[in-house]
Amino acid sequence: MDHDDFPRGTPGATASWTDGGAAAAGPVTLDLPPPQDLPTDLSLADAEAETLRNALDTFLRALEESDAQRRIVLIRILMQEIGPLRGTAFEPTVTSIPASRDEVADFDRYFGVRRIRPDAPARALFHGLLQTAAGVLELAARSAELPPAQIERQVAGFAAYARLLGRVCGLGALR
């Protein structure tokens, strides 16, 4: 999936991967909401809850695939199915962590992070999980030097995060 540059520092800009925009330091590889906006629980409309439940189940099935390339393909297909992430771009002016605004900006530039206040927070959290899982699994597929046991620990972590997201959204038990 192509990651177009994201309009950084444009207050109120509606963002998606399909928008053009000012050139960032590099391609966006991870969309993150501000840490202080991370929810501890989310109430979803019935249709949104069902869509997320199905997507999380599909993701968990993809992680169960024994073929590494097939895992990646299934996750990329799921990313396309859920569509572009929409929200308002922003640059943090304060942080709630012991790091300065400039340090956070350096981190974001280095790791290809864009900060976004998403229109649909649950979908945004899931989207970030898909981006991370796809990136890690693609890296693992390119390097025979990464220990398979470590990769499987990462996969187990992605599955645990998916189940946690389901609980945060009140979806009950998943796969």
The torsion angle over the Cα atoms of residues 159, 161, 165 and 171, rounded to 10 degrees, is 30
Cα(34)–Cα(72) distance, integer angstroms: 27
- pLDDT of 108: 85
- pLDDT of 95: 66
Per-residue pLDDT tens digits for 26-36: 566 778 777 77
Cα(96)–Cα(136) distance, integer angstroms: 27
Q: Which residues are registered as beta bridge partners of 118?
A: 87
SS3 call for 117: strand
Query: Is residue 103 over pLDDT 70?
Result: yes
Per-residue pLDDT tens digits for 18-27: 333 333 345 6
Per-residue pLDDT tens digits for 55-71: 999 999 999 999 999 99
Q: Which residues are registered as beta bridge partners of 87?
A: 15, 118
Predicted TM-score (pTM) above 0.85: no
Neighbours of 85 (CB within 10 A): 22
Please report which confidence band the pLDDT of residue 118 belongs to, taking 50, 70 and 90 as the band edges. confident
In terms of C-beta density within 10 A (0-12 exposed, 13-18 middle, 19 or more buried), how is residue 169 classed? buried
- pLDDT of 24: 39
First to last CA, the chain: 27
Cα(103)–Cα(105) distance, integer angstroms: 5
- pLDDT of 27: 61
Mean pLDDT, range 110-133, rounded to an integer: 89
Please report which confidence band the pLDDT of residue 81 belongs to, taking 50, 70 and 90 as the band edges. very high
Alpha helix (H) ranges present in the chain?
A: 46-64, 68-82, 101-111, 121-142, 148-168
Q: What residue segments make up the domains of the chain, in order of their start?
A: 14-168
Rounded to the nearest angstrom, the gap between the alpha carbon of residue 155 and the centroid of all alpha carbons in its chain is: 15
